[in-house]
Amino acid sequence: MSKKSLVIVESPTKAKTIKGFLAGSFKIISSMGHIIDLPKNKLGVDIERGFIPTYKVIKGREKIAQKIKKEAKDASKVFLATDPDREGEAIAWHIKNLVDVKDSKKEFLRVVFHEITKSAIKEAFSHPSSLDLRKVEAQQARRILDRIVGYFLSPFLWRKVCRGLSAGRVQSVALKFIVDREKEIQEFIPQKYYLLEAIFEREGLRFKARLVKEKNKKITLEDKEKAEEIKDLILGKEFLVSKVKKTVSLRKPQPPFITSSLQQEGFRQFKYSSSKTMLIAQRLYEGIEVKEEGLTGLITYMRTDSFHVSPLAKKQAKTFIEENYSKDYLAEKEYQFKSKGIIQAAHEAIRPTNIERVPEKIEESLSKEEFSLYSLIWKRFLACFMKEAQIENTQINLNFEDYTFLATGNRILFDGFLKIYPEKVKEEPLPDLKEGELLKCVEVKLQEKETQPPPRFNDASLVRTLEEKGIGRPSTYASIIYTLARRNYVRRQKGSFIPTDLGIKVTELLNEFFPNILDEKFTAKMEEALDYVEKGEILWVKVLEGFYPQFKENIESAEKKVKKTVELAGRICDKCGKEMVIRYSKKGKFISCSDYPRCKNAYPLTTGVKCPQCKEGELVERRNRRGQLFYGCSRFPKCRYTTSKLP
């Protein structure tokens, strides 16, 4: 009896989907992600001998490792079919090293595919390759960089702020963005101004025009008295139509989704966190049980920063548009979308694996969330091959004495790609006016406004900022945001991120003593260096050699200069009589005796609000395991009252 070939993938769902496409001569098993990594409780990197890493089977994955070794021993060939990115390449490399014993003649084949469909799997297994060691080295350099930062910086934070803290090379920069934005908001001083609108009517159509100029100079109304004077002056008066300008603009569709834009749009459209968007996309990629089709992948690989689309997918999209929307909707030529940075040309944008699989046709096979995200991906991809929308924009200047008012309007002449991918194009019709006409002002509206501070970051804006500044990579955005919330460095409020006291404290400390860690340009250069490692233009060790000496010097300097700071609570310990101080923990601030550990008296920092249930205790800030803020009674467990908002 001939031996079967072994196929190793990361997830059980992926294994199940692929099994349906391969003949019975293959056995498919899952590694459940990484099974080998640096040891958990020690550095695991020999810095003095050229940053040589020591890898171990991850605790809890021993049985999986044994199963892989056993199955590989009995297999004729081993196909490494992990994801087509650095992490996937590293997982495959570790598995090969685990199984490939000395003098073994076992054949290891790397299989790469960007969609889990029958045709893609058949093509990939017909043309296997070898491992890409450059990708492996780039992942290894990143992993060691992050390990060095975490191993030396986290204990420093334990000693200077509170135990249990941790710091990440990329997460710390993202946290700084959030902290700096919060400072801008706190320091912002709002300024009042007034918006003056004149209302006109022509042939039953009312429209508004806002004051924009005085004596042909731009005007901003900051004086209420002057605004009232102008309001009284123009009401009921006749205005001259001094200028009518009509232009037609072409709005082209946005590029197909890549990881960052999918996360941003997932938040804007559905308020999904980055992690949630990626979890849903993962399910769509790995396989959904579709009626009359079976288990199949609905989208291409969802961790990508490339706008590339395969020729076959382009042809199918164009044919679909012609057959379902007419040739008038097909773009005359393909749009060119420019990618940032160093892109893997073999990667594709995120697209449906089959454009004929219209969302509404498979809706009953999908959950509500899966349907929403799949529809978004399907529509965005198809829109890329449709004609631009034609929009007529109208600007009308209306003058009275020294004042110029501007009315703007638009209407869609041809919807083009907007037919399937609606964007915010609110049609605002204006009457057909001619220059030299006179119109009477029938109403005047005066609104008091205030300048607004910059908005807090949310999932969409933070991912966009990280991408624009070259911080992190597609596979890391969701984990960066998740980690910041889990460590209690930020909390969510109506979808936006607010830094906690702990997050601010950590950022201030790192900013003072580890400027490189929090320098966005330095971090972006490190990411770029890793890309060059993958291209084979830099040795991975050189990246580490360029980073470590300065980092080590900063650690040693900070250890000498920084003392654990304490903030007096203004209270005396009722057990020993010493000063009480405010300390930090992963759950927030609390009050503790300054003579700790000899005196362990401590209690939560109260809000000053009485517990509405027991009437004796006060409400204190607490956090659940997911880092979400809530308020509980200080007499817990005697009183178990909790609330998400202060009464």
Catalytic residue list: 301
Q: What's the number of CA atoms in the CB half-sphere (13 Å) around residue 11?
A: 12
Structure tokens at 525: 């250069």
Which of 628, 642, 632 has the alpha carbon at shortest distance from 497? 628
Tokens 């005007």 map to which residue? 219
Q: How many CB atoms lie within 10 A of CB 372?
A: 16
- Strands 490-493 and 217-218, how do they pair? unpaired
Instruction: Kindly give, in sequence order, each residue whose CB lies less than 8 Å from that of residue 525, ignoring residues fewer than 6 positions away.
Output: none
Distance CA 607, CA 631 (A): 9
Structure tokens at 68: 């892989």
Distance CA 364, CA 137 (A): 44
What single string gives the DSSP state of each residue in 355-366?
A: TTS-GGGGGGGS
Distance CA 475, CA 303 (A): 6
Which of 590, 530, 585 has the alpha carbon at shortest distance from 165? 585
Distance CA 277, CA 302 (A): 10
Structure tokens at 232: 């009284």
Angle at Cα 308 formed by Cα 307 and Cα 312, nearest 5°? 135
Distance CA 571, CA 557 (A): 34
Do residues 209 and 407 lie in contact, with contact meaning Cβ atoms separated by under 8 Å? yes
Distance CA 401, CA 228 (A): 16
Angle at Cα 132 formed by Cα 129 and Cα 138, nearest 5°? 165
Residues making up the chain, counted from first to last: 647
Q: What is the DSSP letter of 39?
A: -
Distance CA 626, CA 5 (A): 42
Do residues 84 and 347 lie in contact, with contact meaning Cβ atoms separated by under 8 Å? yes
- Strands 602-604 and 588-593, how do they pair? antiparallel
Q: How many CB atoms lie within 10 A of CB 17?
A: 25
CA distances from residue 528 to 160, 305, 535 in whole angstroms, order as listed? 32, 14, 11
Distance CA 167, CA 151 (A): 9
End-to-end, the C-alpha distance of the chain in Å comes to 74
> What order of strands is seen across the sheet that includes strand 26-30?
26-30, 5-9, 77-80, 107-110
